[in-house]
Each structure stands twice: as structure tokens, then as C-alpha cells.
């Protein structure tokens, strides 16, 4: 079994806060990611949207597509409407051999609202999450039939943020709904990283290695700041630069025979955390913990 190491270009090109990364280009993100050693990149909104254009763009920088965000709207769409809304992205990701689509419900999230405290995110009951899960399972089954797995991303500011939310969603969905396990979002949301990974190891398809700075997270929570405020303040960082024990995570991935992607996703202010320097630091930390865990890295 082996893993691959990818990165989201969000450190160079932040889709939610474009002014924060205005001095950087997507071309720089791909070029520098490949120079560091990353072999895959998640799709960013400033990449070409058409499939031939995106294929040529990735080929130019000798880097693969290792997933990408998909904004779900299942609280407002029925299943048929949602399938039509995501069809083009599914077809594109199949054509480009992506390992999955990183799907998250966005119809009622506060993650992109800079004036709304992340503490005010929607919180559903267990029964409401289970009801949602039935619809999500239908969409995921359709995606799988097309040849593209769904990896659900629990995310700050959304209805699926804390450990209970993740547990309920996994309990209420079929096996076609896999998990995009994100260390940073889970800990920011108050969850236990290792307990959640242990519980749902058989559903984990995609992994985001994201670290947090706990003092910034505490300030965001205590002072009712927004998710975007948290990003600007530096709540997130690359693995090895915060408080999460990624050696434990890597050891668990080894024990569960994980053979997917480990993706660095660490959006922050590039004036404080230069993207190349920090992305290289994160990459080296992953090499170190994987080596100690006995996880082979596919180049």
C-alpha cells in the first residue's frame, strides 16, 4: 500500500478571500507545488473550467488532479436537481482521473460570510441529519455509478462541523458516501481527531492534513469571529506547524491500509506565511511522519 501527497492551491489563490492572495497566481501555485514534490493538486476556481483546458493546464505543470471542492445544495434541491447541478463536474473529474469529488453542503453554511460568527453556524438535530443523509446517499450512488466517488467534507461554518455531526452523517448514509477526513476542521469544530478516525476508518476515502493554531481558534470562538476572520488571523497552518499530532494520524493510516491521497490544505495570509516556504515545511513533515509510520509514498 502507498499514499500520494497533494495540495490545495488555496495558500496561493484563496477563492473565498481573493484580495488576500492577490499577489500570487495559480500558475505559481502549480509550478511551486510541483517543485516542492507534490504530485497532485485539488481544483481551484481560477483554473480553466473546461475539461480540455484543465487537462492541458495540469499537464503543463506535470501535476495530477487529486480532487476538488463541490458546493452541494441538497437542502434546497431535490435529488434530481442536485444531480443535474453537479453533472458537469462529475463528468470532468471522471475524464481527468480524479480520485473523488470533495462534496459539502453549502446552501445554509456561514463559512463564506465574513460578518457572521462561525459560532452561529446551522446546527441540526440527529433526525434532521439522518433525513439529509438519505438524500445524500442517492446522489452519492449516482456519482459512483458514473465512476466518481463522493468524499464528504465536514467543514467549519456548515451543519456538519463537530464530531456528533460527522457521526450522525456517517450513520445516516450508505457506504457510497465516503468521508473526506480533515484534521484541522475536526479539531477546530471541537472533535477528537483520533477517535473520529478510529470510528470511521472504513469510510475514509480522502484525507486533508490541516493543522491549527489553538490560540487563534480560541480567540475566534471567544470573540464571535467569522470563519473568514479565522483564516485571516491564522487559525490554520500546514502540518507540523500547529498542535495536531500527525504521527498518530499517519500511524493509523498505515494500520488501516490507507492507499489514497494525503492533501495539504492550509489557507492563511501569505504575507505572514509565504506559500512556498510553508507548503515545503508541510510536505517535509508528511515525509517524516509517513517514513516513521512505514507508509510508502508513491512518486
| Mean pLDDT computed over 206-227 | 98
Please report the pLDDT score of residue 196 as a whole number: 98
The CA distance from 28 to 34, in Å, is: 10
- pLDDT tens per residue, range 44-100: 999 999 999 999 999 999 999 999 999 999 999 999 999 999 999 999 999 999 999
Phi then psi dihedrals of residue 209, to 5 deg = -90, 105
pLDDT category at 165 given cuts 50, 70, 90 is very high
**C-alpha cell, 154:** 465536514
What's the sign of the alpha-carbon dihedral 128, 159, 75, 136?
A: negative
Tracing cell 467543514 back to the chain, one arrives at: 155
Q: What is the pLDDT of residue 269?
A: 96
Euclidean distance between CA atoms 104 and 72, whole angstroms: 5
Considering just the CA atoms, what is the radius of gyration of the chain in Å?
A: 18
CA distances from 10 to 57, 99, 116, 224, 241 (A): 17, 19, 22, 24, 17
- Termini Cα distance of the chain: 13
DSSP collapsed to 3 states, the chain: CEEEEEECHHHCCCCCCHHHHCCCCHHHHHHHHHHHCCCEEEECCCCCCCHHHHHHHHHHCCCEEEEEEEEECCCCCCHHHHHHHHHHHHHHHHHCCCCCEEEEECCCCCCCCCCCEHHHCCCCCHHHHHHHHHHHHHHHHHHHHHCCCEEEECCCCCCCCCHHHHHHHHHCCCCCEEEEEEHHHHHHCCCCHHHHHHHCHHHEEEEEECEECHHHHHHHHHCCCEHHHHHHHCCEECCCCCCCCHHHHHHHHHHCCCCCEEEECCCCCCCCCCHHHHHHHHHHHHHHHHHHHCCEECC
**Per-chain mean pLDDT for the chain:** 97
For residue 134, count other CB atoms closer than 10 A to its CB.
Answer: 12
Gap between the Cα atoms of 108 and 102, Å rounded: 17
CA distance 73 to 196: 25
What mean pLDDT is predicted for residues 132-142? 98
Q: Output the nine-digit C-alpha cell for 232.
A: 485571516
Strands 2-7 and 261-264: parallel
pLDDT at 299 over 90: no
Is the predicted pLDDT of residue 210 greater than 90, yes or no? yes
What pLDDT, on the 0 to 100 scale, is given for residue 148? 98
| pTM higher than 0.75 | yes
Per-residue pLDDT for 1 more than 80?
A: no
Amino acid at each position: 500500500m502507498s499514499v500520494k501527497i497533494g495540495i490545495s492551491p488555496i495558500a496561493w489563490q484563496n477563492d473565498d478571500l481573493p484580495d488576500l492572495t492577490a499577489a500570487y497566481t495559480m500558475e505559481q501555485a502549480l509550478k511551486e507545488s510541483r517543485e516542492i514534490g507534490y504530485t497532485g493538486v485539488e481544483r481551484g476556481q481560477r483554473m480553466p473550467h473546461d475539461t480540455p483546458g484543465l487537462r492541458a493546464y495540469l499537464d503543463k505543470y506535470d501535476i495530477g488532479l487529486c480532487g476538488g471542492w463541490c458546493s452541494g445544495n441538497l437542502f434546497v434541491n431535490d435529488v434530481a436537481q442536485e444531480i443535474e447541478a453537479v453533472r458537469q463536474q462529475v463528468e470532468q473529474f471522471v475524464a481527468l482521473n480524479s480520485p473523488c469529488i470533495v462534496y459539502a453542503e453549502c446552501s445554509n453554511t456561514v463559512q463564506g460570510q465574513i460578518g457572521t460568527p462561525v459560532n452561529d453556524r446551522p446546527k441540526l438535530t440527529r433526525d434532521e441529519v439522518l433525513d439529509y443523509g438519505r438524500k445524500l446517499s442517492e446522489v452519492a450512488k449516482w456519482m459512483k455509478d458514473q465512476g466518481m466517488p463522493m468524499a464528504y467534507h465536514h467543514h467549519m461554518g456548515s451543519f456538519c462541523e463537530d464530531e456528533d455531526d460527522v457521526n450522525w452523517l456517517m450513520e445516516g448514509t450508505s457506504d457510497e458516501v465516503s468521508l473526506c477526513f480533515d484534521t484541522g476542521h475536526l479539531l477546530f469544530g471541537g472533535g477528537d481527531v483520533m477517535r473520529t478516525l478510529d470510528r470511521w476508518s472504513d469510510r475514509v476515502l480522502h484525507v486533508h492534513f490541516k493543522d491549527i493554531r489553538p490560540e487563534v481558534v480560541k480567540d475566534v470562538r471567544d470573540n464571535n469571529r467569522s470563519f473568514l476572520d479565522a483564516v485571516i488571523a491564522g487559525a490554520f497552518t500546514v502540518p507540523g506547524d500547529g498542535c495536531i499530532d500527525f504521527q498518530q494520524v499517519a500511524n493509523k493510516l498505515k494500520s488501516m491500509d490507507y492507499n489514497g491521497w494525503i492533501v495539504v490544505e492550509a489557507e492563511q495570509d501569505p504575507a505572514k506565511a509565504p506559500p512556498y516556504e510553508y507548503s515545503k515545511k508541510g510536505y517535509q513533515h508528511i515525509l517524516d511522519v509517513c517514513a516513521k509510520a512505514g507508509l510508502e509514498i508513491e512518486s
